């Protein structure tokens, strides 16, 4: 086993060479500025590479990832990323992106004891508990799991809408749209939860519409 991970440095060299060959001057242009339009708040899962799956280059996507794409009102890490993205980079869109088959969501759903992360996943369990009267009507666990992934995106996007950072941006008339998406591990495709919010007045309606959408898909009629 290589202790200095030389193979990753080799891959890095190949990537840098290929990128520069494809687009001469790529890195020197990036030096001058980063002006991404988007802030991606997603899961840390290694199967969900943010830039790649929306086919965006370095410099085009500002990214924050944590286990189960949670937006917590007191998480200074996530809030700082959001504040910098909105106030300094002037991103126009914030997408909270969950994914199918999320291990964090599954652990939260099933009360699995994993370790320290259990405390973090309490936030997802809060989502489960809030929606349990409906969620429990889905009899099969895989469906509950998929539905909780989607509900979690909704709630975390709602939390994003309620941060002072986003509220202040809307108050001063800055254009910031919050989105809730779910990525399908099985097909590589993004699905829009229709939780799309461009100002404070739209929050409740967007949330209600998106929630109706989820319930309609999982328990039609
Ligand atoms: Zn995940």
Q: What is the pLDDT of residues 110-126, one digit of tens each?
A: 999 999 999 999 999 99
Domain enclosing residue 3, as ranges: 1-32
Query: Cα–Cα distance between 150 and 159 in angstroms, integer?
Result: 14
What is the count of structural domains for the chain? 2
**From ligand 1's centre to the CA of 48, what distance in Å?**
8
Q: Is 102 annotated as a binding residue?
A: yes
Q: Are residues 26 and 83 in the same domain?
A: no
Distance 149 CA to ligand 1 centre (A): 9
43 annotated as a binding-site residue? yes
Q: Tell me how far the alpha carbon of residue 218 lies from the centroid of ligand 1, in angstroms.
A: 21
Active site residues: 43, 45, 47, 99, 102
Q: Which two tokens stand for residue 7?
A: 């193979």
**CATH code of the domain covering residue 202:** 3.40.1050.10
pLDDT tens readout for residues 180-199: 999 999 999 999 999 999 99
This prediction's pTM: 0.94
For residues 49 and 96, membership in a common domain is answered with yes
Is 78 annotated to bind a ligand? Reply is: no
């Amino acid at each position: 086993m290589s202790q200095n991970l030389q193979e990753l440095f080799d891959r890095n060299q190949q990537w840098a060479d290929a990128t520069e060959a494809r687009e001469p001057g790529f890195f020197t242009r990036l030096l001058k500025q980063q002006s991404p339009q988007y802030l991606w708040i997603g899961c840390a899962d290694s199967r969900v590479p943010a830039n790649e799956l929306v086919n965006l280059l370095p410099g085009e996507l500002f990214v924050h990832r944590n286990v189960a794409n949670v937006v917590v009102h007191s998480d200074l890490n996530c809030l700082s990323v959001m504040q910098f993205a909105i106030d300094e980079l002037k991103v126009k869109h914030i997408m909270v992106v969950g994914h199918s088959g999320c291990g964090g969501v599954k652990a939260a759903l099933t009360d699995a004891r994993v370790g320290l992360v259990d405390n973090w996943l309490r936030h997802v369990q809060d989502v489960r508990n809030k929606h349990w009267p409906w969620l429990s009507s889905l009899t099969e666990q895989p469906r509950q799991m998929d539905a909780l992934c989607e509900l979690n995106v909704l709630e975390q996007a709602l939390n994003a809408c309620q941060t002072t950072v986003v509220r202040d941006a809307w108050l001063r008339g800055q254009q910031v749209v919050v989105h809730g998406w779910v990525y399908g591990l099985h097909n590589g495709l993004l699905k829009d939860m229709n939780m799309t919010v461009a100002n404070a007045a739209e929050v409740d309606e967007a949330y209600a519409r998106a929630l109706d959408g989820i319930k309609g898909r999982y328990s039609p009629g």
